[in-house]
Amino acid sequence: MTTAATPPTPAPPFGRALCAMITPFTDVGSLDLDGAQHLADLLVGEGCDGLVLSGTTGESPTTTDAEKSDLIRAVREAVGDRASVVAGVGTFDTRHTVELALAAEKAGADGLLVVSPYYSRPPQDAVEAHFRDIADATGLPLVLYDIPGRTGTRVEPQTLIRLAEHPRIVAVKDCSYDFLAAQKVLARTELAYYAGCDEHNLALYAVGGAGYISTVANVIPRHLRSVLDTFDAGDTAASARLQQRATPLIELMMAAGLPGAVTAKALLHALGLPAGPVRTPLRPAGREAVEQLLAAHQDFMSR
């Protein structure tokens, strides 16, 4: 008896290993496009399949519309076709989000990261309509960004399942901390699920996720990619060890009381890489926090 061949798993729409890239600023707080190009080139050279710009880590609430477009153009020029460029365009205003989506498409983005509307806390039918309006307005594929801890509004599993029917809604960045819900949506849709919390990178990948959109990849991109590569090679035990090796740094960067944009920029600056200050209302990491971050990174590199 012959057995039918298993169809190949579709490639993730933007690659597997994506970095939620910081937005470099100059010492006086203006957009540092040269620094952004240098960092983007470095991240792609170190194994990132894609770069997500103007997300949470990219300090999107404090950059202007023009800065967002300028950043896309600069990074696109730096990486060419070596990596996907996904532009964060989500706001609490549907009309403004559509404007940003169209501008990102014109600037050369490959896809759009669209967070659920924040502050106004719309009900699920309004959340769904918001995403559909944006998907209808542009020719680019969308990554829906579910991060209720910041927005105050969950994108419920049934909403995601319905939205998956739209041809341009192709992926989810999952920061819901609801692992069961993620598996339910994975089982019922073809959405590409990207871990948005670094501690979930391997766990979500192991149950069918597409990969990650990682803040910690700003500082250890090659290592985080190796977690996925080793899993794909069939050595799941080694993959787990690699994930565990990164855990102390992940915890210090993402769960020690400071936002990821602050910790990533502090560590990049300490390592001599483009970063610059954060924009208010965020404040830079203090000396003790920087010393802890640098020590954790040095300890990680020495293992």
Which residues pair with residue 17 across a beta bridge? Answer: 212
Residue 89 C-beta-side C-alpha neighbours within 13 Å: 35
Q: Is 145 in the active site?
A: yes
CA distance 121 to 176: 16
Using alpha carbons only, give the angle 245, 197, 114 rounded to the nearest 5 degrees: 150
CA distance 283 to 262: 7
Where does the chain show beta strands of DSSP type E?
Answer: 17-20, 50-53, 84-88, 111-115, 142-146, 169-174, 192-195, 211-214
Q: Is 114 exposed, middle or buried (0-12, 13-18, 19+ CB in 10 A)?
A: buried
Cis peptide before 10 (omega within 30 of 0): no
Residue entry with tokens 């205003």: 93
Q: Which of 68, 173, 194, 265 is catalytic?
A: 173
CA distance 109 to 272: 28
What is the separation of C-alpha 99 from the centre of its chain, rounded to a whole number of angstroms? 21
Q: Is 234 exposed, middle or buried (0-12, 13-18, 19+ CB in 10 A)?
A: exposed
Q: Which of 68, 106, 145, 205 is catalytic?
A: 145
At residue 14, what are phi and psi to the nearest 5 degrees?
A: -125, 15
Which residues pair with residue 86 across a beta bridge? Answer: 52, 111
Of the candidates 129, 141, 163, 139, which has an alpha carbon nearest to the alpha carbon of residue 12?
141
Q: Is 173 in the active site?
A: yes
Active site residues: 145, 173
